[in-house]
Structure 1
Amino acid sequence: MPIRSSRGRAGAYRAIWQWPLRSPARLAVTVLVLGGLVFGLVSLGNASGTAGGGLVDGGTTGGNRWDGGSSGVAATPTPTLLPPVPELTPESLPVAQAPRAALETARVWASAWVNHPEGGTAQQWVAGLRPYTTDEFLGVLAGVDPANVPASRVTGPATATRVAPKSVEATVPTDTLTLKVLVVDTEAGWKVSRYDRA
């Protein structure tokens, strides 16, 4: 049976890994040396990757890329052709194809818009518009003072001016002005999402 001693190969290995642990100064020197070696290897790897992959034709960099195949030649990049983007404007339909439900919504909404009896509150006015208005536009109408609405009655039917598959722009005449109303097709039916003076 061999006699184990502090000498031999195991003792040499033990002396190597115990050397940095014998004092804080040795530990700091060891950490710095190992950090420098790791940093140097990483820098050398990045430099060799740039030199091999990005320099072509006598050290000039450009839009070329290195062919990773066995040919060892620089390959020029092939441009990627994307399909053309279609126009984002909505499809227009003839005015005569305006849905009757959309025009009726515009007329009824305008009738509720001009309905602001003296002494009524803004909440009552908005409540009258709620069934015919989108939720987003209701937030805008909540800040309107109905006393500032100049009209008091609708004087004619709604007439379509622009028609798309999911929206209709119509004009509604009142006793003081003509309203331009945008009606959109929602899950809950046709609703007004905007109005302006024509």
Structure 2
Amino acid sequence: MPIRSPRGRAAAYRALWSWPLGSPLRLAATAVVVVGLLVLAGFALGGRESAERGIASPTTTTAVRAPSSAGPTALPPVAPLTPTTLPLSAVPPAALQVAANWAAAWVNHPDGVTNEVWVNGLAPFTTSEYVGTLSGVDPANIPASRVTGPARATEVSPRSVDVDVPTDAVTLAITVVETEAGWRVAGYDQA
């Protein structure tokens, strides 16, 4: 049946689409109806999909699609690493000497010494990475003033040694590692 309107077909469609804009009440009612229809359609379509997914028949096969583009893949599993420790008698004498020299430089902080001078005294025995960390230490906060005993290994690994060095205030727990430049201190803690 043709649209018979004095203004034509466009006017009829315009009147249909502009009806909700005639008042705020019409607009709200139209919005509620549209949202309701969308929710009902979602439940109707979603209910079927979930029912189909929930019950799988034994003959159902799942197709696996290959990725359309080359993306990152998972790495193969790596066996857990276990540290290799050696007997304390296997400690390299050079590692103990570096720890003793580093501890002597660590306690050498006369009043008024700047951080730069103090770190320069530690630098020959320290890894380059750890020198940057030590530049944030204030030598005035170091409680010890002298080393009171020899360096003693507490744990020995093929490329690192944990060493305790006693001072007049604390015992330094020093980690010495083997680098390309020889044995160097890579960290310490006050025990």
TM range (shorter): 0.5 to 0.7
**CA apart distance, 1:171:** 1.9
Distance change (3 Å), C-alpha of 1:14 and 1:28: farther
Contact 1:172-1:178 at 8 Å conserved across structures: yes
Q: Where do 1:37-56 residues align within 5 Å?
A: 37-48=33-44, 51-52=47-48, 54=50
**CA apart distance, 1:155:** 4.6
Pairing partner for 1:93 from 76, 79, 85: 85
Q: Where in structure 1 are there 5+ consecutive unaligned residues?
A: 1-5, 57-63, 72-83
Aligned residue in 1 for 2:190? 196
Distance change (3 Å), C-alpha of 1:66 and 1:12: farther
Pairing partner for 2:134 from 131, 135, 138: 138
Give TM-score scaled by structure 1 length. 0.56
Distance change (3 Å), C-alpha of 1:147 and 1:138: closer
State whether structure 2 residue 48 is matched by structure 1 residue 25.
no
What percent of counterpart residues are identical?
31
Match of 2:84, as an amino acid?
S
Match of 1:11, as an amino acid?
G
Pairing partner for 2:163 from 170, 175, 189: 170
**CA apart distance, 1:149:** 1.8
Give TM-score scaled by structure 2 length. 0.57
What root-mean-square deviation, in Å, do the aligned CA atoms of Structure 1 and Structure 2 show?
A: 4.5
Question: What is the DSSP-based 3-state SS (H/G/I as helix, E as strand, rest coil) of the residue aligned with 2:35?
Answer: helix
Contact 1:168-1:183 at 8 Å conserved across structures: yes
- In 1, distance between residues paired with 2:163 and 2:174? 5
**CA apart distance, 1:139:** 5.0
Aligned residue in 1 for 2:143? 148
Aligned residue in 2 for 1:106? 99
- In 2, distance between residues paired with 1:125 and 1:168? 24
Q: Where in structure 2 are there 5+ consecutive unaligned residues?
A: 61-76
